[in-house]
Amino acid sequence: MQPQYQPATGRDSGSGLVPDDFTVPPDLATSQFRLEPLGPRHNAADHAAWTGSIEHIRATPGFQERGWPPAAGMPLEANLTDLRRHADDFARRRGFTYTVLEPAGDEVIGCVYIYPSRSDGYDTDVASWVRADRAELDAPLYGAVTAWLSGHWPLGRLNYHPR
């Protein structure tokens, strides 16, 4: 299960987060991790990643007030429904969710969410988490994503909780 995001108040729910002529980056790669669009093929690995790190994720900046992930977890099929919704948001350019993977494999180590802001004074909400056993990657992920979004995306003012 992933955080539930809705378009910002006053934003046309049919409009995209980015301009139609913007080419959405398909990935981001560093020596420590790589990002690719989250989709149904990641279901089992995504589910295992977050269900094994619930308390850690709930303590991550930006997640403390969200009530996600659910303390009791959720069934794999419900997670798949969320992943399909995120993939649909990505295809419609309403929001962009990337899974965070090991640099040379398909092991899920976290997730990044990019959606219209629900907070006054910001254009875009960004949130990310990493598994508890990969906590050392939280700050590097924050730094890489912040630089990537600020330097390569037309997202305006970002609301992304510092690490």
| Two structure tokens written together for 101 | 């993977």
Q: Coil, strand or helix: which one is 146?
A: helix
Alpha helices in the chain (DSSP H): 43-51, 54-58, 76-92, 138-152
Task: Write out pLDDT tens, residues 68-118.
Answer: 899 999 999 999 999 999 999 999 999 999 999 999 999 999 999 999 999
CA 38 – CA 15 distance, rounded (Å):
21
- The residues facing 159 across adjacent strands are 125
Q: Over 80: is that where the pLDDT of 149 sits?
A: yes
Residue 139: C-alpha distances to residues 21, 95, 129, 161 (Å)? 31, 23, 10, 11
For residues 125 and 159, the answer to whether their CB atoms sit within 8 Å is yes
Residue with tokens 């419900």: 78
DSSP assignments along 35-53, one per residue: EEE--GGGHHHHHHHHHTS
Task: Write out pLDDT tens, residues 115-137.
Answer: 999 999 999 999 999 999 999 99
* CA-based nearest residue to 110, from 86, 137, 70, 139: 137
- The residues facing 142 across adjacent strands are none
| Two structure tokens written together for 154 | 């037309």
| Two structure tokens written together for 92 | 């419609």
Name the CATH superfamily, with its identifier, for domain 28-159: Gcn5-related N-acetyltransferase (GNAT) (3.40.630.30)
Confidence (pTM): 0.90
Residue 63 DSSP code: T
Q: What is residue 9's predicted lDDT score, i.e. its pLDDT?
A: 36
